[in-house]
Amino acid sequence: MFLTLPSLVSCIAFETPDIVLKNDGQPCISIPSDEDFFRRNKQFSIIDTGVFQIGVGELWSKDYLYSSKPYYVKTQECLRFDYHFQNNVTYTIGFISTEKGNNKKKNWRADIRINKNQDGTLQLLLDEHARDAAK
């Protein structure tokens, strides 16, 4: 069992979401526009969302799979992450989506860090840049 777990984890393909900073300094995490290539205004069902921190574990998560009201978004629409991201902390965010009417799941993941510069401006760092800044 211990030998198969690493091989199973390595088989999961992760997609990279779009992430930008909103005016309030919090990230807007969304499904990229190229997921709706023909601009048909597709809807995506969000199954699960989560925020993690290395060395700490899960900080927040929300499971929508068994919710009484499904959670649908369109591309480039900010997902609900009901978590207040702190400055100068590296987080791993993730979510699972399916195209509405399709059961094929997509796993999305990114490492993020919101740096507050000396002049007070905020800078969003992603993936390897976020991890490198934490060292």
* Distance, C-alpha 99 to centroid of its chain: 16
Tell me the pLDDT band of 2, cut-offs 50, 70 and 90. very low
Mean pLDDT lowest for which of 3-17, 45-59, 91-105? 3-17
Question: In the chain, pLDDT over 70 holds for what percent of residues?
Answer: 92
Give the range among 5-14, 69-78, 84-93 with minimum mean pLDDT: 5-14
pLDDT at residue 3, as a whole number: 39
Per-residue model confidence as pLDDT tens digits over 24-80: 999 999 999 999 877 788 999 999 999 999 889 999 999 998 888 889 999 999 999
CA distance 65 to 68: 9
Question: Which token pair is 41?
Answer: 């205004």
For residue 37, count other CB atoms closer than 10 A to its CB: 9
pLDDT above 70: residue 10: no
- Integer CA distances (angstroms), 66 to 18, 62, 70, 115, 126, in order: 26, 11, 8, 36, 31
pLDDT recorded at residue 67: 86
Q: Is the dihedral of CA 48, 18, 27, 44 positive or negative?
A: negative
What is the predicted pLDDT for the residue at 8?
41
* Percent of the chain residues topping a pLDDT of 90: 73
The per-residue pLDDT for 13 is 84
How high is the pLDDT of residue 1?
A: 35
